[in-house]
């Protein structure tokens, strides 16, 4: 029986990963900040799919809480076969003049937690000769959109690098780079995305199905959606100064910016 640990499991892409993994018969370890909501979702998945759901309430920006999740991943008596690092949030502010503690908390979740949880999970997987990690990055990592873009760029390059290190061990590490997706992400971040055209939006169920298919194929970077495959290809071939110019607003007089893709 396969066990998957999913962070950010109560909402958005993380919740959809939990749903689809449970539907295929995986036991789950669900991680999120809201313990009550987490338990309710675990109960729902258990009743519907007859899988075992362990809950682990943890704010991944808190180092002590993060350490508890690391310890769970490293426990040889309860092996985890798949780690999905999906927890994340964005801050709706310009870096200049913004709350630096909010920026730090975002990096703690998007970068530090991803690094430490991947580090905790991989030794057991490599020793068993099977397993994998899916790190939820973003197409924002291909542009120049503030700390969020920088963090997601790190996630993608980190995943590529670590996948090379575990080559030929039976373990795969993949960066999933979604674009704008219908989830709670933008609403919870107070981001106005009402101006975006319909063709930019992805649906979470389709996105996760595509991601799991890419993971089975051994893809190292997954970019679901034809529109985002085209956009990310353009960011690679266009001159970088042009990509920067197209990436967003500049100047302290325009502090509110559109939400980042997720």
Tokens 């338990």 locate to: 39
What is the residue whose two structure tokens read 């390059």? 157
For the chain, what is the HEC assignment? CCEEEEECCCCHHHHHHHHHHHHCCCEEEEEECCHHHHHHHHHHHHHHHCCCEEEEECCCCCHHHHHHHHHHHHCCCCCCCEEEECCCCCCCCCCCCCCHHHHHHHHHHHHHHHHHHHHHHHHHHHHHCCEEEEEECCHHHHCCCHHHHHHHHHHHHHHHHHHHHCCCCCEEEEEECCCCEECCHHHHCCCCCCCCCHHHCEEHHHHHHHHHHHHHHCCCEECCCHHHHHHHHHHHHCCHHHHHHHCCCCCCCCCCCCCCCC
**Among candidates 30, 22, 17, 31, which has minimal Cα distance to 1?**
22
Active-site residue, from 148, 158, 180, 215: 148
For the question of residue 41 being annotated catalytic, the response is: no
* Residues 58 and 68 sit within 8 Å (Cβ to Cβ): yes
What are the backbone dihedrals phi and psi of residue 6, each rounded to the nearest 5 degrees, phi first? -120, 125
- Cα dihedral 2→134→226→240 (10° resolution): -170
Q: Which residues are known catalytic residues?
A: 148
């Amino acid at each position: 029986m396969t066990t998957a640990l999913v962070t950010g499991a109560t909402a958005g892409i993380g919740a959809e990963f939990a749903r689809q993994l449970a539907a295929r018969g995986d036991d789950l370890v669900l991680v999120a900040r809201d313990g009550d909501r987490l338990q309710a979702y675990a109960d729902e998945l258990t009743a519907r799919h007859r899988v075992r759901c362990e809950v682990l309430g943890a704010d991944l920006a808190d180092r002590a809480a993060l350490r508890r999740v690391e310890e769970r991943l490293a426990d040889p008596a309860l092996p985890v076969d798949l780690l999905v690092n999906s927890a994340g949030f964005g801050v709706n502010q310009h870096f200049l003049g913004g709350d630096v503690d909010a920026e730090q908390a975002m990096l703690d979740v998007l970068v530090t937690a991803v690094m430490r949880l991947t580090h905790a999970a991989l030794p057991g997987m490599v020793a068993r000769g099977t397993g994998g990690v899916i790190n939820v990055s973003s197409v924002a990592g291909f542009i120049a959109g503030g700390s969020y873009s920088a963090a997601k760029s790190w996630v993608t390059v980190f995943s590529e690098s670590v996948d090379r290190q575990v080559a030929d061990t039976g373990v795969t590490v993949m960066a999933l780079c979604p674009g704008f997706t219908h989830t709670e992400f933008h609403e919870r971040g107070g981001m106005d995305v009402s101006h975006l055209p319909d063709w930019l939006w992805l649906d979470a169920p389709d996105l996760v199905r595509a991601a799991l298919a890419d993971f089975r194929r051994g893809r190292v970077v997954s970019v679901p959606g034809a529109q985002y495959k085209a956009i990310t290809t353009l960011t690679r071939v266009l001159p970088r100064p042009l990509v920067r110019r197209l990436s967003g607003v500049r100047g302290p007089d325009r502090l509110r910016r559109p939400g980042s893709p997720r």
